[in-house]
Amino acid sequence: MSGPAQVLDCRGQRCPLPVIALARRLPGLPVGSVLRVLADDPAAAVDIPAWCRMRGQEFVAAVPDGPGYDVRRTH
Amino acid sequence: MSPTPVYLDAATAAPLHPVARQALLAALDDGWADPARLYTQARRARQLLDAAREATAATIGVRADELSFTPSGTTAAHSAVLGGLAGRRRAGAALVHSAIEHSAVLHAAERHVAGGGTAHAVAVDRVGRLNLTCWAEAVRTPGVALAALIAASHEVGTVQPVAAAAELCAAAGVPLYVDAAQVVGRTAAPQGWSVLTASAHKWGGPPGVGLLVVRKGTRWESPWPADERESGRTPGVLNLPAVVAAAASLRAAAADAAAEAARLTPLVDRIRARVAAEVPDVEVVGDPTDRLPHLVTFSCLYVDGEALSHALDRRGFAVSSGSSCTSSTLRPSHVLEAMGVLSHGNVRVSLHRETTEADVERFLAELPGIVAGLRAEAGVVGL
């Protein structure tokens, strides 16, 4: 398991902005790499995994020392 | 010219039923005295209160002496939770509840925990249905004083397996409280519970009347300071005209419930299908079939829930939203969170007896353009 390829700092942003930023950034990463989204809006904990499910991308995990979420580009 | 208003938030408050209006006006003349006093005017008020209680109890299929009126559905829910726990304090101090209870139940649970008790939330699945395996395990844990389950989700409409949950509670010797606010006056009340609550403004009655039903033999103790009214279950003099109106409108709503469910169910099906087909990147949530007849919820990707509510309001549509930006706490709806579904861009549409097919068609015709407009403004088209 490799660490995140990039970190996207969305702290201070309210949903849906962190999800929009994730959707803009992820396609720029190579398939298989992980993007870490830092987001302190509580809604991100729900909406980032939900976005991954709707888009068929992989929600890896919430970062233990968060608030952050790792997402892997699968396609 | 502003568009014709289309009210689609019956799950918050249904428009006043015409029968409620009539009964309220009549009872204002006759029902102002305190029913507890011993003079003529009080006896007249007492007759109105007794008749309202008899009618309401008969409509929901309980004994009149099991039913108390409360100053709101919220008060009824607080009484159910705190009174159910107080009555069983010798059995323990643990409350078990679903993760998707109404905030009134969760706030009562917080009060219980602040006072040294415990509360355990039982998970739901992706469509918002209680996980019965987890429920079984939770209610048979030693020390459980009360279990609480909403009859059907007020946010996503999914009907809960109350009968199965009640059997598991009975086997464990734990009384079950059912919050029936979204089903009383719309569908048959579930069975197997010990305590049940409802709220008049959900069925077309006036605001400010709740129902608290405590089955005979249930260990329940009022959590409020002593008061002799309503069998000691809820303090304070009742708003009797509103109670009379609530009872009259419940009887009318229940009489029409089957026909209304048959009319509204296909309209909700139509909303579910057309929103999913005609609005890109939308998640329609809740169980598509085992659901309330009048309620549907969906979330639009990349759209701000507050902006969507305002945009719909400008076009005349009144809807509710579970998105965090529309809540005072800035947290997403705990129901959407528990289901693990998209919480931003959320809209709850709930229909009522005045909702027409034309209302629904206009909503469906305008929604895709409203969502597209917000996405274009935010620059998120094609993401």
Contacts of B332 in chain A (CB under 8 A): 15, 42-43, 46-47
Q: Is B325 a catalytic residue?
A: yes
Residue A2 pLDDT exceeds 70 = no
| DSSP-assigned letter for residue B1 | -
Residues of A with CB under 8 A from a CB of B: 14-16, 19-20, 23-24, 41-43, 45-47, 49-51, 54
Q: Do A16 and B302 touch (CB under 8 A)?
A: yes
Q: Do B301 and A42 touch (CB under 8 A)?
A: no
The answer to whether B323 contacts chain A (CB < 8 Å) is yes
Band (A5; pLDDT cuts 50, 70, 90): confident
Q: Do B304 and A46 touch (CB under 8 A)?
A: no
| DSSP-assigned letter for residue A10 | -
Tens digits of pLDDT across chain B (383 residues): 578 899 999 999 999 999 999 999 999 998 999 999 999 999 999 999 999 999 999 999 999 999 999 999 999 999 999 999 999 999 999 999 999 999 999 999 999 999 999 999 999 999 999 999 999 999 999 999 999 999 999 999 999 999 999 999 999 999 999 999 999 999 988 999 999 999 999 999 999 999 999 999 999 999 999 998 998 999 999 999 999 999 999 999 999 999 999 999 999 999 999 999 999 999 999 999 999 999 999 999 999 999 999 999 999 999 999 887 777 777 889 999 999 999 999 999 999 999 999 999 999 999 999 999 999 999 999 88
d(CA B372, CA A75): 26
Report whether B147 contacts B96 (CB < 8 A).
Answer: yes
Closest CA to B371 of B344, B353, B331: B344
d(CA B79, CA B62): 18
Structure tokens at B268: 């909700």
Q: Which pLDDT belongs to residue B1?
A: 59
Q: Do B324 and A24 touch (CB under 8 A)?
A: no
**Helices (H) and strands (E) in chain B — how many of each?**
10, 12
CA dihedral (B193, B98, B129, B137) positive or negative: negative
Contacts of B378 in chain A (CB under 8 A): 20
Instruction: Point out the residue among A14, A20, A45 whose CB comes nearest to the CB of B380.
Output: A20
Going by C-beta distance under 8 Å and a sequence separation of 6 or more, which residues neighbour residue A23? A51, A55, B302, B380, B383
Q: Does the pTM exceed 0.90?
A: yes
The answer to whether B337 contacts chain A (CB < 8 Å) is yes
Crossing angle for the helix pair B240-278 and B18-30, nearest 10 degrees? 160
Instruction: Point out the residue among A16, A24, A51 whose CB comes nearest to the CB of B303.
Output: A16
The answer to whether B380 contacts chain A (CB < 8 Å) is yes
Report whether B308 contacts B359 (CB < 8 A).
Answer: no
**Helices (H) and strands (E) in chain A — how many of each?**
2, 4
Report whether B175 contacts B123 (CB < 8 A).
Answer: no
Structure tokens at B246: 């609530």
Q: Do A14 and B324 touch (CB under 8 A)?
A: yes
In order of A64, B120, B179, the CA distances from B340 in angstroms are 19, 19, 23
Among A5, A15, A43, A62, the one annotated catalytic:
A15
The answer to whether B34 contacts chain A (CB < 8 Å) is no
Structure tokens at A24: 């803009």
